[in-house]
Amino acid sequence: MSLTKLACKRVQDLTPYMSARRIGGKGHVFLNANEAPKSESYTLDSSKLNRYPECQPAEVIDAYAAYAGVTPEQVLVSRGSDEAIELLVRTFCEPGKEEILICPPTYGMYSISAETCGVGIRTVPPLADFQPDVPAILSQLEGVKVIFFCSPNNPTGTVLDREKLLTVLNATQNKAIVVVDEAYIEFCPQFSMVDLLNDYPNLVVTRTLSKGFALAGLRCGFTLANPEVIGLMLKVIAPYPIAEPVAQIAAQALSPAGLETMRKRITWLNDLKQQFKADIAGLPCVQDIFDDNGNFVLIRFTDGAKVFSAMVEQGIILRDFGNKAMLENSVRVTIGDEAEMQAVLSVLKSLA
């Protein structure tokens, strides 16, 4: 008997998320996963590794609460924000009955998490400017328990319009959870929706140390929400989600010195992003540059596939979104260091 047939039906039907790291590719310049160009160094104390770690390490929770401007009761730490996304689906959606709502093109893990949990996915395409189509969303809320917005949105860079979020929050009170995924908010902190948490108990904000904090390899993310929501998620989360070395490094990254290093990195990368945009703006192969609120820019080329393969030939790996609805010929470029951006630029110039 085939072992595959032993697996539950929905797992047999799954296609795993093709993360940048799984797709891989031969290259030496990796600008396909929105990672930071370099790591900081940290110290580790291994003297407590005989003990199980705290489920929610207080030092990390307190530091993140202070950084985000919320109370520790409003914070949950998890194994990346990907785990937070899955916890939200498992906590609020009845498999086989209830659904999540998403507005693609957006981050792929919302639908992957729903599929793995046997939860349906309602898809409401955004408007031409990539803002959510609020009337369409409000007319399709029956059976929807969690709505995922991403701001800045991966891959379009769009920041969610605050008025539109407020309309959705007001219409979903006591009915559905509204998640705003702020994975890239360090690159545009002025657009955070965290200040709405106290007025809207059904709002949830997810965060991560993977992008602005340059710690994708650490796997550490956060949920900011009403204490009641945090309490429900704590019922579902694994008993020891945060390894002791992860907690130690996260605490260092969130210390005053760590925050200062992060803010300098953000200024550096935001400046490089503006320079890169100015450098490519006039090139004949560039048709359109999308919003630039994260550490990446999505670019619509006259021929996206040609740009992507010309980059591969030079060992530069980008992320191709040309097969996604509304994103024909579009390729996402993570902002890397000076040399990496020059390498991308010179390939684009050679095509021009």
Ligand X SMILES: *Cc1c(COP(=O)(O)O)cnc(C)c1O
Q: Which residue has the tokens 């705003």?
A: 180
Q: Taking the complex as a whole, how short is the minimal distance between the CB of residue 167 and ligand X, in angstroms?
A: 22
Q: Taking the complex as a whole, how short is the minimal distance between the CB of residue 166 and ligand X, in angstroms?
A: 21
According to the binding rule CB under 6 A, does residue 186 interact with ligand X?
no
Q: Taking the complex as a whole, how short is the minimal distance between the CB of residue 207 and ligand X, in angstroms?
A: 8
Q: Which residue has the tokens 């919302």?
A: 110
- According to DSSP, the β-strands at 75-78 and 286-289 are unpaired
List the one residue from 32, 210, 226, 248 that touches ligand X (CB under 6 A).
210
**Candidates 75-83, 157-165, 196-204, 301-309; binding stretch for ligand X (CB under 6 A):** 75-83
Taking the CA atoms of the chain, what radius of gyration do you get in angstroms? 20
List the one residue from 176, 183, 233, 333 that touches ligand X (CB under 6 A).
183
| Residue whose CB is less far from ligand X, 180 or 285 | 180
Count residues near ligand X (CB under 6 A). 13
Between the alpha carbon of residue 223 and those of residues 163, 220, 252, 334, the distances in Å are 22, 11, 19, 25
Quote the CA–CA distance of 299 and 277 in Å, as a whole number.
10
Q: Taking the complex as a whole, how short is the minimal distance between the CB of residue 267 and ligand X, in angstroms?
A: 21
Q: At what angle do helices 109-116 and 80-92 cross, to 10 degrees?
A: 50
**β-sheet with 75-78: strand ranges across:** 75-78, 221-225, 203-208, 177-181, 144-150, 99-102, 120-123
List the one residue from 70, 150, 165, 297 that touches ligand X (CB under 6 A).
150
Q: Taking the complex as a whole, how short is the minimal distance between the CB of residue 76 and ligand X, in angstroms?
A: 13
According to the binding rule CB under 6 A, does residue 154 interact with ligand X?
yes
Binding site for ligand X (CB under 6 A): 34, 80-82, 107, 150, 154, 181, 183, 208, 210, 216, 221
